[in-house]
Structure 1
Amino acid sequence: MKIAKRGQWLQIAVPVEWSGLKIEDILKEKLHIPKSLLHEIRMNKGVKLNNDTLPWSNTVKTSDSLQIQLFVDEDYGLIPEYTDLNILYEDDHVLVVNKPANMDTHPTTEGQLGTLANAVAFHYQAQGIQTKVRHVHRLDQDTTGAILFAKDRLSSAVLDRMLERREIKRTYYALVHGIIKQKSGTIDASIGRDRHHPTRRRVSPSGQQAKTRFKVIEKLPSEQMTLIELQLETGRTHQIRVHMSHLGYPLVGDILYGGKEVFSRQALHAKYVQFPHPITNEVIQVEAPYMDVPPIFPQ
C-alpha cells in the first residue's frame, strides 16, 4: 500500500484489493478506525476522495487517492525536554526508541521532567510535529531497550488493540543468578501486589494471570549466571522479575526480588520489538543494541 503524509492529511493510493469498496467500509474494516475517532473525522469532513468531499457511501477504484485528516495539532501532554535519543525506527506513524537505564518511560506526576516521553516530545517539537506523546507500552525505570510510540491518533488506537491481542511481540534478554538446566520453559503463575511492600509484586493465586516463556542462550558457569531470552504472553508489572525470582533464578542486580547487587540495576534489556505497521500492516522488527558501557550482557 502506498501512503504519504501531506500536511494534516494521510494520502492513500487505493490498492487493487480495495477496489469496489465503500469509503465507509475502508475506514471501518480496512483501517480499523475506532468509533469515537470516526465520528470526529466525519464531523470535521476529514475524508476526501481524489481531493473531493464525497458521501462515504461512494465506492473507490484502484489508484484512486483517499485522503484522511489524521495529523491534527495536539498538545504534547507534557513538557518537552532535550535528551539525546537513540532512535531505532521512525516514520510518520510510529517511533521506536532505545531507552537507557535510570529513566522513567513517562511522567507519573504533573510537570515531571527527565523521562523518555519528555525527550520524545522535544524530538517532535524539533521536527515541527505537534502531537500528543503516546507510548504503546512501557519499561521499568532501570530496564533498557526498545519502546514503541504512536505518532497519530489512529496508529495509537490500532497499536493498543494489537497489544491487547498480543500481536506486538516483545523479546527480552536477562542475566539471572544460577545455572538453568532446562533449555526452555514456560512460567504460568498469576501476579498480584505484595501487601507488605508498596512497589513489590508477588506470585499470588488471586492475582492477574501472567505467562512468561524463556529460552537459555548461554550458561556462564564461572559467574554462576545464565543468559536467557524471554517473551511475555501477558504484560504485568515486574512480570519477568517476579517470575524468574519465583523460579529460583532472580535477575542479576535485582535486589528487590532477591538478586545480588552485581550491577547498579537489574540485568534486563528489551532486545527486540516486532509489530504489524498500524497503517500498512507490514511487519516491522526492530533490534535494540545494549546501551551499557561496558555491556552487562555477553555479546
Structure 2
Amino acid sequence: MNNTQLSYTAGVQDENTFLRDLLASKLLLSNSLVVHLKHQNKIQVNGQLVHTNYRIQAGDFVTIDIDLTEESTIIPESIPLDIVYEDEDFVAVNKPAGMSTHPSHLGGTGTLANAVTYYWQGLGRNILFRPINRLDKDTSGLVLIGKSQFAHQGIFNQLKQHTIDRRYVALVERSMAKDNGYIDQPIARLDDKKRQRIVHPTGQSATTHYQVLDKYPDHTLLSLKLETGRTHQIRVHLSFIGHPVCGDLLYGFASPLINRQALHADRIRFTHPRSGKEVILDIPLAEDIQTVVNYLNTPFNKPSL
C-alpha cells in the first residue's frame, strides 16, 4: 500500500480562497506540514507547482504528495511483528510484553521501532517511526503508528480533542467495591532523575474511567478508558486508589500469578483523517493475562454466587 496522494477539487464556494487556507480547512493540513510540503515541491494545482498564496478558482484540482523525504535514525532489525491492521496511512501492531516501544538512546535495538523500521525497509519505504500511542515495556497490546506527518497530525488532533477511544484491560489487586467510576487526579514526575510518577496537586490533569468486568476474592478484572495520556497513568491511578495492577513492581508488588504488570491495550477507535470514517481495532487479551483469568475463574478459585 503506497497511496501517498491527497486530492481536492475546488467548488464555487472555494472561489478566490488562498491555497494555504484551503489546505488547512479542506485537507486539514497543519502549518508545519505545509511548510515541509512546500520545501519539497509536493503541492500542485492542475498538475503545476504553485505557491500557497495562489488564489483558488472553481474546478481547480489540488494534489498533495505527503510522501516526504525523511531520514530515520532507527536501526532496522528483523524482529517478528504481529500486524493487526494496515492501510496507506497507518499500521497497528500487537506489541508483546517485554518489548519497548522506542529505543531509549540513539542506536538502541530490540524495540518495536526497530522491528517496524525493518518491515518498512523491506517494502522499500524510508519512513519515520511515529507512534500515536506508546505502551510501557511490560504492557502488551495495540500500538497505532502513523506512516506520515499527515497521518500522525490527524490523530494527534483527535487526542487533543479527546475523540480517540483507547481501551485497556487490567487485572488489579483486591476486589473493588464500586462496579464503575473514574479517577481524576493530576500526575507528576517523582523527581527529574526517576521514571516513577505520583499523584500530586502540581501535576498534569489526568482522568481514567474504569468498569468492572469480573470480580474474584483477591482481584478484579477491569476495562479502562483514558481521557488523557500521561506517562504510567493507569498504573499510577490504580495504585493511588489502592488497587495496583497485578504484578506491577513499580507501583505495586510482585505477584505469583504473573511476572509482569497485567495490563493490556485491547482497543483503539479513531476517525480516519483521510476518509473521515470510523476505524475500530480490537484484539484479544494477551495470552499470559488470559491464563491468569482462566485460573481465577475455576470453581476452586471463584466460588459461585
Match of 1:227 in 2: 221
Partner AA of 2:25 in structure 1: E
Q: What TM-score results when the alignment is normalised by the length of structure 1?
A: 0.88
Farther-moved stretch of structure 1 (32-41 vs 279-288)? 32-41
Is 1:200 matched up with 2:217?
A: no
The CA RMSD over aligned residues, in Å, is 2.4
**Mapping for residues 142-181 of structure 1, pairs under 5 Å:** 142-181=138-177
Q: CA deviation at 1:168?
A: 1.8
Question: Following TM superposition, by how much is the alpha carbon of 1:24 offset from its aligned partner in structure 2, in angstroms?
Answer: 3.6
Q: Percent identity?
A: 35
Question: Does structure 1 residue 10 correspond to structure 2 residue 8?
Answer: no
- Structure-2 separation of matches of 1:80 and 1:12: 32
Using the TM superposition, give the Cα deviation of residue 47 of structure 1 relative to its aligned residue in structure 2, in angstroms.
2.0
Per mean C-alpha deviation after superposition, the further-off stretch among 228-237 and 251-260 is 251-260
The equivalent residue for 1:213 is 209
Q: How far apart are residue 188 of structure 1 and its match?
A: 1.0
Do the aligned partners of 1:24 and 1:57 also contact (CA within 8 Å) in 2?
no
**SS of the counterpart of 1:235?**
coil
Per-residue CA distance 1:103-159 (angstroms, 9 max, x = gap): 110011111000001101011111111111111220100000111111012112222
Question: Can you give the 5+ residue segments of structure 1 that lack an aligned partner in the other structure?
Answer: none
Question: Which structure 1 residue ranges, 4+ long, deviate > 4 Å from structure 2?
Answer: none
Unaligned runs of 5+ residues in structure 2 are: 295-305
Distance verdict in 2 for CA 1:45–1:291, change over 3 Å: same
Residues 248 and 196 (structure 1), Cα distance of their counterparts in 2 relative to 1, 3 Å cut: farther
1:255 match:
249
More off after superposition, 19-28 vs 274-283: 19-28
After superposition, residues 1-299 of structure 1 pair within 5 angstroms as 5=2, 9-12=4-7, 14=9, 20-21=13-14, 22=17, 23-53=19-49, 56-61=54-59, 65-195=61-191, 198-221=194-217, 224-261=218-255, 262-293=257-288, 295-296=290-291, 298=293
What is the number of equivalent residue pairs in this alignment? 288
Q: Secondary structure at the match of 2:77?
A: coil
| Contact kept in structure 1, 2:172 and 2:219, CA below 8 Å | yes
Using the size of structure 2 for normalisation, the TM-score is 0.86
Deviations, residues 232-260 of structure 1 (Å, cap 9, x unaligned): 11111111111111111111111222234
